[in-house]
Amino acid sequence: MDTSPPSSAPSSAPSSKEKKYDRQLRLWGANGQNRLEQAHIALFGATAAGCEVLKNLILPSIGRFTVIDDKLVEEADLGINFFLDQDSVGKPRAERTAALLGELNPDVVGGFRSDNLENMLSHTPELLDPRTTEFTHLLVMSPVPTPILLQLPTGIPTFFVNSLGFVTTLRIYSPTHTIIETHPDSLVDLRLFNPWPELSALVLEKTRNLDVPESEGGMSDHQHGHVPYVLLLLKYLEDWKQLHDGHLPGTYSEKTQFKSMVMDKMRTNVPGASEENYEEAIGAVMKNLRNAEISSETKEVLDNPKCLNITSESDDFWIIARAVKDFTDSNNGFLPLSGATPDMKAESHGYVALQNIYRVKAHSDAAAVEEIVRDYMNRLQHPHRDQIDSDVIQLFCRHANFLRCLNYRSIADEYSNSNDEHNKAVLAALENWDAEDSLIHNYVALRGYQEFYTSHGRAPGDTSSEDCDADYDEIKRFVCQYLESVGYTKGVGVRCEKMLKEVVRAGGGELHVTASLAGGIVAQEVIKIITQQYVPVNNTVVFDGIGSRTQTFEL
């Protein structure tokens, strides 16, 4: 063997791009990164929060960004926005923020327009039409008059952000958002109550003589202490069935009995007086002894009309979902196996043999699903019928029990004051047991802010202190109207009044720390939507910088 460590740059070493983005590739992989690099984000309103969101998206390398803003930089902007400097004062804010943000990452293409949302919607609507636009995602910074919110396009994912004093809210809208890679804590699915023939055969082979003492020709202590716990459980479940007319231990007390049955079989005349694999088996009883069940989230996907009625225009996601549904229906209700196994005390070959049984089964399940997918695609003359990738189908099957489909209410529906579902959601939050401390009041106060701004063209409290009281009365009037419109009749409560005072106190101004925090929350959500990984909020998150907490609502 060569005994000097190589000193030249090795061939399998990561590329310079992989080195730079290493810490995030570990979260969303090359797939997620590719999607990020395809995105073109439009920011409407170069506010402190807006620029902080873009900062957190430019650093991990979105493809492009465009800042749209029609203001000139004021001295006061420098006190809250890090992406403006002394030289920027008096110049267009879109241009200056785009320039200073652009310095963050040479891999990202930046641009700007001295324009605003209202003007673009009326004069250059093609720039925001989902069929013609270059933008893949819209970041819209408050304040925006309500009539403009009602005109936001519904074909593009949109993030509407409020950052005011110590309070911030984010409203997400996206066309139907489906997720395969939700990144659950574990993909393990052991099927202990439902072993398939190959697994049962392995159990027989590896647990023969398990309970025979070494002196009588049984396993040595070393072998006995290294039988993987999954095999132990499957073996003792068989024994249990023999003793219980073929029934499995389903109830809590049966599982407790089963546990002591396993414990009794453990060899105790060994160092430490216990065997780690048996300890692992006992520890897994309560969690893993159960029928393989389909999660409610996956059920929702499989029962979705988009899954039941696939056409040549369906996304690949729905075709694969339909194939998984068909597979499951003809497989006694079992989803394709994930194939993941947990680590456990075992000898190398014993562990690898077990792991392979699960992998091979997962592979064959995925192959069966793939056959159904290809069959559907051919029958539907689906345009992707020659492109669909086995890897995607395998990924889908691996995550079959963790799929998500999120349907978002449109922002127009939320602000139209006539959507029953929205009204019901607000009312429920206001009448919930935790209503007294709920952050729904932050939201309601910001609805007042929204209406105040729409009517007066300025923020409440954006004035000398003497007039604050008048603004407070006016915003409270708007809130009363709003509460009535959702059907809440108990008037403005104490916490809501305090939030209104807090809103008037800010006078429409941002605090940098709140803006920066909003920038982090929003960017996380944008990344989740773009990469189609992890689970984004549906549809509103409120952060309260006074009590340092968040709450989510579907509004």
Interface residues for another protein in 80-139 (CB under 8 A)? 80, 82, 85-86, 103-106
Q: Check residue 182 for interaction with another protein (CB under 8 A).
A: yes
Q: Check residue 286 for interaction with another protein (CB under 8 A).
A: no
Query: Which two three-digit tokens encode residue 78?
Result: 């420098």
Distance in Å, CB of 418 to another protein, minimum: 27
Q: Check residue 196 for interaction with another protein (CB under 8 A).
A: no
Beta strands in 22-108 (DSSP E): 40-44, 64-68
Q: Check residue 202 for interaction with another protein (CB under 8 A).
A: no
Query: Which two three-digit tokens encode residue 62?
Result: 């979105």
- Please, which residues have CB within 8 angstroms of residue 340's CB and are 6 or more apart in sequence? 186, 187, 188, 189, 358, 398
Please, which of residues 310-349 interact with another protein by CB under 8 A? 343-344, 346-349
Secondary structure (DSSP) of 71-137: PBP-GGGGGT-TT--GGGTTSBHHHHHHHHHHTT-TTSEEEEES--HHHHHHH-GGGG-TTT-S-SE
Query: Which two three-digit tokens encode residue 39?
Result: 């995105």
Site string for another protein, 212-231 (x = CB under 8 A): --------------x-----
Q: Check residue 204 for interaction with another protein (CB under 8 A).
A: no
**Prior bond to 228 cis, omega within 30?**
no
Distance in Å, CB of 443 to another protein, minimum: 14
Instruction: Give Dmax (Cα) for the chain.
Output: 96
Nearer to another protein, 417 or 493 (CB): 493
How far, in Å, CA of 410 to CA of 428, rounded?
Answer: 19
How far, in Å, CA of 504 to CA of 524, rounded?
Answer: 29
CB atoms within 10 A of CB 392: 17
Contact by Cβ (8 Å): 429, 438: yes
Please pick, from the candidates 23, 123, 287, 490, the single residue that binds another protein as defined by CB under 8 A: 23
Q: Check residue 546 for interaction with another protein (CB under 8 A).
A: yes
Q: Check residue 6 for interaction with another protein (CB under 8 A).
A: yes
Please, which of residues 449-508 interact with another protein by CB under 8 A? 461, 465, 468, 497-498, 501-502, 505-507
Q: Check residue 8 for interaction with another protein (CB under 8 A).
A: yes
Please pick, from the candidates 139, 483, 521, 555, the single residue that binds another protein as defined by CB under 8 A: 521
Choose the binding region for another protein from 65-73, 141-149, 412-420, 542-550 (rule: CB under 8 A).
Answer: 542-550
Distance in Å, CB of 522 to another protein, minimum: 8
Please pick, from the candidates 237, 449, 538, 553, the single residue that binds another protein as defined by CB under 8 A: 538
Q: Is 89 helix (H, G, I), strand (E, B) or coil?
A: coil
Nearer to another protein, 198 or 497 (CB): 497
Please provide the size of the chain in residues: 555
Contact by Cβ (8 Å): 136, 156: yes
Nearer to another protein, 158 or 514 (CB): 514
